[in-house]
Amino acid sequence: MSKAYTGGCACGAIRYEISAEPLVMNDCQCRDCQRKSGTGHGSYLTFADKRSVKLEGEAKHWDMVGDSGNVKTRAFCPTCGAPVYLTFTAMPDLFTVHAASLDDPSRYKPQMVTYGMRGYAWDHIDPALTKFDKMPPA
């Protein structure tokens, strides 16, 4: 295993350390991720077991129903407003962090695009990435 993935919010009030390798790294073009990011997609690292996560600080949580119909919980810093992580009711073991919240964002290496059907021509994502119209089959 490589070194832990570390990161947090912009002001440092929320910090995480993850001692596992990501299950997947993806760019999501769903409408929710577009709104949250203020651009054409969100970029994420998803880890298979949230027990590998050390989390410090108190996040504010917001539940919403995603394009899949499943509830996802977005966690952000109540001080600086920076988005930090997501959890999913339908997959409670998963823990997802925003690529930009990493201390070293260069560790983010996207493997696929989800919700490509919602993408825009002006959002230039690597055309070599596998693109799924919605979520890929499990």
- Beta strands, E only, 3-111: 5-8, 15-18, 24-28, 42-47, 53-56, 60-65, 71-76, 83-88, 91-98
pLDDT at residue 1, as a whole number? 55
pLDDT at residue 70, as a whole number? 84
Token digits of residue 42 = 């969100």
β-strands 60-65, 53-56: how paired?
unpaired
Average per-residue pLDDT for the chain: 93
Give me the residue spans of the domains in the chain: 5-121
pTM of the shown model? 0.92
pLDDT at 102 over 90: yes
Average pLDDT over residues 21-36: 93
Report the CATH fold assignment for 5-121: 2.170.150
pLDDT at 67 over 80: no
Q: In the structure, what pLDDT confidence band is assigned to residue 138 with cuts at 50, 70 and 90? A: low
User: What would the pLDDT profile of 108-127 be if each residue is shown by its tens digit?
Assistant: 999 999 999 999 999 999 99
User: What would the pLDDT profile of 75-96 be if each residue is shown by its tens digit?
Assistant: 999 999 999 999 999 999 999 9
